[in-house]
Structure 1
Amino acid sequence: MTTYSLPQPEYSRNMRLIGHSDQGGKPDGVQVMVHRGYAYIGHMVSQGFSIVDVRDPKNPRPAGFVAAPPGTWNVHLQAHDDLLLVINARDLFADVRFADEKVYYTRSVSETVKGTQQRGWSAGVRIFDISTPEQPKEIGFLGLEGIGVHRIWYVGGRWAYVSALLDGYSDYIFLTIDLADPRHPQVAGRWWLPGMHTAGGETQSWPEGKRYALHHAIISGDTAYASWRDGGLTLLDIKDRTAPQLISHRNWSPPFGGGTHTALPLPDRDLLIVLDEAVLDNQEDGEKLIWVFDVREPSSPVSISTFPQPEERDYVSKGAHFGPHNLHENRPGSFISSTLIFATYQNAGVRAYDISNPYQPKETGALVPAAPAKMMDTRPGRPQVIQSCDVFVDAQGIIYSTDYNGGLSIIEYLG
């Protein structure tokens, strides 16, 4: 029997690496969902998604790959019950105009790709039956005009929620999707920040060098908690899924650097954890933070604290991005806690935080994976540095984290 030695983490505290997978030779990972013992992983470069059998998390086994249509990204996906929803969008990082990350993060995508003639990609959401987990079977497709969908929130039932860049808009907006018949999904409602509907005669109201675009929304009850990159945070009333209404809008960029990525509601505590993504190397976009908001009064969210930052070494000068990227999102069927929060911190790995006292969050564990063995990211000049991207914690408390180049890290929390 050949023994596979695990890559040696660069740093760990209260966490232990127990498994690792190169995802069948495609180690570029973005979003990961673990469902019924299988990890579904969207790729940044490999144009498709992979399936890894993690029923034994110490011995993950590649179990399949589903290719995307030509020219198409499958960076994000969502699994619940027997359905897997996979985003389809133009593979922007394969476009030479986005070779410099700054172009992607500091101006509207529609501005950059203006004048594209041929439409050589698929835009929308593909729906797979995963009743046989390692053999996804496509059963439906929501086709859209435009660049496509960036991210989805789907936790079962009739409704899904996506960020989509449609023709006629400057960047990604909020859509509600009706899945009453998953074979024939329909767009039901939409909402955008004022200034984004260019075809409707709206004009940009935000400063040059800022990007107003929905990253995604997390839904709790009839409220969508939506993150708009440099446009901040909105709470939307979606009681009527066909007509979302604004409850409140907060934006702290400027003075802070923007990049609002994830807003995680903790409804039992009237708290909201809001993460700003670091998007440029060596903190060129400023220090990025994870905020705690008090949302007892939804019309007036108030920030009451920030999470402590990794301090055991100088991560700013380590290379690539230092700062938050994503949170474990407390999905039904996964690990759910309103006091223990997991986040990825890019070149500073995976972090755990205790927010029992929401005014004084404390870091309780960390693991920084080894540098990637090889580079999958084809953009020129990207440093060979870990960029822990997504994090998913299963119901048993096992942590799964992806990297753009470094494969899937499976981690045990010891806190």
Structure 2
Amino acid sequence: MATEPPRPDYSRNMRLIGHSDQGGRPDGVQLMVHRGYAYVGHMVSQGFSIVDVRDPKNPQAVGYVPAPPGTWNVHLQAHDDLLLVINARDLFADARFADEKAYYTRSVGDTVRDVQDCGWCAGLRVFDIATPDKPREISFLSLNGIGIHRIWYVGGRWAYVSALIDGFTDYIFLTIDLADPRKPEVAGRWWLPGMNEAAGEQPSWPEGKRYALHHAIIAGDTAYGSWRDGGLTLLDVKDRTRPTLISHRNWSPPFGGGTHTALPLPDRDLLVVLDEAVLDNQEDGEKHIWLFDIREPSNPISIATFPQPDEADYVAKGAHFGPHNLHENRPGSFVSSTLIFATWQNAGVRAYDISNPYRPVETGALVPAAPARMMDTRPGRPQVIQSCDVFVDAQGIIYSTDYNGGLSVIEYLG
């Protein structure tokens, strides 16, 4: 029998229809909804959970796969019979990252350079999910270093990851050959100049900035990469073993950086680019979701910003206020080049109509209730909703995770 989901703090053109604490592990980062099951990577619980959402009003936790000790499984990707899960050092379990600024305002490689490769797994773990609620591991691609942060995989031979491997200051772009999913191999790599310390490169960016690939989304033979304070790159990946630069744009400074997701809309020659808010109370400045015109890939031009939530004083609410993530139009999910979904952390989940690309309009919002309990073990974290990832299934049902507050299942009424 379905239990009543917690009453949202605010809603407009959206309705909360279901909620799950993910089997007592309500900390969630990335999620994939695939064949009626949600796969949720955890920030604190060191593993991933499986939630049966075939009845979205009554989600049921049906499985949990623990990570190796000391290992993060924050991000994952599902397509056909494969589930790809990142393995990386659990950085938030390290006391040096208790203050978020240590993670977001300097190269991770600098903070952890004294740590030897032991006590965690770094690489890519591949599972067979032909039986959706019983993932079966079929391979592990081991990497030297801290490990992988995020993946892009939508079937076929190639996966694309951000990885912090030995010799680099932070996460770079790797292409992974999955011709045989039981034997994944690194095929190509690309980084911003200054990141390859092992080759003698010197960082060119200012103190207090972090140049690191969050991840890239691939459309055709172009990879659209988000490099946190390093901005946006368009890479030609026609030859997956030798990515080459098409263009690089960076607006930090004057803006605050944190570029997180670049979502191409190829049928309209548009690119939605989101800058993540990474510090409490907007200490890192106002962050935006930008709309770029990419008719000329060598010269992407910003033409608009999305409106900011303003029905409450979200800066004063505490924790992070600002964009975090976009629904990424994956094959098999809800795909639109005019309706865009984003998470805004303490301002919940938002929908936008970009029919007129010069005037994006907010068409719906839902701010979940504060988490019932805190899973985030870092000292002093406020008990405030931080809507993290968003996934919209082919039926238009919205799923959103939170670092502490569980899985929200939302109906869009716009």
TM-score by length of 2: 1.00
- Find out whether 1:357 has 2:356 as its counterpart: yes
Q: Which residue of 1 aligns with 2:343?
A: 344
Amino acid across the alignment from 2:207: E
Q: Which amino acid aligns with 1:78?
A: Q
The answer to whether structure 1 residue 161 and structure 2 residue 160 are counterparts is: yes
Corresponding residue number in structure 2 for 1:28 = 27
Question: What's the offset of the Cα at 1:50?
Answer: 0.1
Tell me the residue number matched to 1:294: 293
CA distance in 2 between counterparts of 1:107 and 1:217 reads 21
Report the CA distance between 1:4 and its aligned residue: 1.6
Q: Show the 5 A alignment for 1:22-101.
A: 22-101=21-100
Which residue type is aligned with residue 247 of structure 1? I
What amino acid is the match of 1:162?
V
Tell me the secondary structure at the aligned position of residue 409 of structure 1: strand
Task: Write the deviation string for residues 308-354 of structure 1: whole angstroms up to 9, x where unpaired.
Answer: 00010100010000000000000000000000000000000000000
- How far has the Cα of 1:364 moved from its partner? 0.1
User: Which residue in the other structure is 2:267 paired with?
Assistant: 268
Q: Which amino acid is the alignment partner of residue 335 of structure 1?
A: F
Which whole-Å CA distance do the structure 2 matches of 1:104 and 1:402 have between them? Answer: 21
Measured after TM superposition, the shift of residue 117 of structure 1 is 3.1
1:78 is displaced (CA, Å) by 0.1
Matched residue, 2:247 = 248
Quote the Cα distance in structure 1 between the aligned partners of 2:225 and 2:159. Answer: 14
Matching residue of 1:11: 10
Q: In the TM superposition, what is the alpha-carbon distance from 1:296 to its structure 2 partner?
A: 0.1
Is the contact between residue 13 and residue 413 of structure 2 (CA under 8 Å) also seen in structure 1? yes
3-state SS of 1:323 partner: strand
**2:355 is paired with a residue of what secondary structure?**
coil
The match for 2:138 is 139
Within the alignment, does 1:199 sit opposite 2:198 as a pair? yes
Provide closer, same or farther for how the CA distance between residues 118 and 190 of structure 1 changes in structure 2, counting only shifts above 3 A: closer
Q: 2:325–2:342: 8 Å Cα contact kept in structure 1?
A: yes
What is the deviation of 1:5?
Answer: 1.9
Unaligned runs of 5+ in 1: none
Equivalent-residue separation in structure 1 for 2:410 and 2:144 (angstroms): 40
Partner residue of 2:115? Answer: 116
Cα distance, 1:118 vs. partner? 5.4
Question: Structure 1 144/261 Cα, relative in aligned 2: closer, same or farther at 3 Å?
Answer: same
Residue 380 of structure 1: aligned partner: 379
Equivalent position of 1:313 in the other structure: 312
Give the match's secondary structure for 1:111: helix
Does the Cα contact within 8 Å between 2:107 and 2:211 map onto a contact in 1? yes
Counterparts of 1:294 and 1:394 in 2: how far apart (Å)? 27
CA offsets, 1:98-137, max 9 Å, x none? 0000000000001001111351100000000000000000
SS in 2 for 1:163: strand
Q: Which amino acid aligns with 1:394?
A: D
Q: Quick one: distance in 2 between partners of 1:114 and 1:148?
A: 14
Rounded to whole Å, the distance in 1 between the matches of 2:351 and 2:284 is 24
d(CA) in 2 for partners of 1:103 and 1:35?
35
* Partner SS, residue 282 of structure 1: helix
2:210 is matched with 211
- Tell me the amino acid that sits aligned with residue 285 of structure 1: D
Cα shift readout 1:344-397 (whole Å, capped 9, x = no counterpart): 000000000000000000000000000000000000000000000000000000
- 2:330 aligned residue: 331
3-state SS of 1:326 partner: strand
Query: Quick one: distance in 2 between partners of 1:223 and 1:141?
Result: 27
The one-letter amino acid of 2:412's match is: Y
Structure 2 equivalent of residue 226 of structure 1:
225
> Structure 2: where are the runs of 5+ without partners?
none
Q: Secondary structure at the match of 1:104?
A: helix
1:179 aligns with 2:195: no
Aligned-pair identity in percent equals: 84
**Distance of 1:359 and 1:128 partners within structure 2:** 42
Moved over 6 A (4+): none
Q: Is the 8 A contact 2:117 2:144 kept in 1?
A: no
Alpha-carbon separation, structure 2, partners of 1:115 and 1:42: 28
How many corresponding residue pairs?
A: 414
Question: Is 1:403 the counterpart of 2:412 in the alignment?
Answer: no
Distance 1:403 1:118 in 2: 30
In 1, Cα distance between equivalents of 2:287 and 2:375: 26
2:258 matched residue in structure 1: 259
